[in-house]
Amino acid sequence: MRKEQHHKGWNEIKTNDSWAIFKIMGEFVNGFEKMSEIGPCVSIFGSARNKPGDPYYELAVKVSKQVAEAGYGIITGGGPGIMEAGNKGANLAGGTSVGLNIDLPFEQHDNPFIDADKNLDFDYFFVRKVMFVKYSQGFVVMPGGFGTLDELFEAITLIQTNKIHTFPIVLVGTEFWEGLMHWVRETMLGTGKISPKDLDLIQIVDSPEEVVDIIDAFYKGRNLSPNF
């Protein structure tokens, strides 16, 4: 009897998984349709916990404002903190301001600086991450937590394995990032887990001007298009 109950429960899970495919497809189709109309963008990542007035929040506003003034739209995760700062900077510059929101039990809510027609909602992290990677011409990574690191290392992995075209990955905040990069150089590279050229995929800066210079220099003479 117990074995039959287990099989029944497993079959119900399989059925639910099959139907979930249609919801996943719907998120991909909606995301692709809307994002393909937006044009060249740079994604800004960072902690949801930084408040207005925090030095990194205000730096993110300045970075995104200058990136938007250079002609790029700004994509963020749509929530508070550094995400809000990124959309605010784009808004102040009169640039495109995109929010890719995720349904979470805490921390996440739409910020008020996203363009009304460019505010997308996702249930699945993996669908949302595809949108970031496919439609970004660069990643600007401010100090953040596990989610920020997840986006950072996924992008590095996809470029390292030639699954997507190379694009600029810029870490902002030497004080915050240098400890991680020291470990990457001394431990990962030092024990042969990565190649020396892999370090060229990442640059660390401290000013908005440096961010814009890196992105502009990379795309000088290149076509801007989706990454895969």
Q: What angle do CA 216, 217, 220 make, to 5 degrees?
A: 80
Residue 228 lies in a domain: no
* Predicted model pTM: 0.90
Number of domains present in the structure of the chain: 1
Residue 136 lies in a domain: yes
Residue 112 lies in a domain: yes
The pLDDT tens digits for 204-227 are: 999 999 999 999 999 998 877 777
Q: Within its chain, how far is the Cα of 2 from the centroid?
A: 46
Residue 114 lies in a domain: yes
Residue 74 lies in a domain: yes
Q: Which residues contact 153 (CB under 8 A, 6 or more apart)?
A: none
Which residue in the block uniquely carries the two structure tokens 């990457």? Answer: 184
The pLDDT tens digits for 79-113 are: 999 999 999 999 999 999 999 999 776 655 789 99
**Residue 177 in contact with residue 204, Cβ under 8 Å?**
yes
The pLDDT tens digits for 125-178 are: 999 999 999 999 999 999 999 999 999 999 999 999 999 999 999 999 999 999
The upper half-sphere exposure of residue 133, i.e. CA atoms within 13 Å in the direction of its Cβ, equals: 21
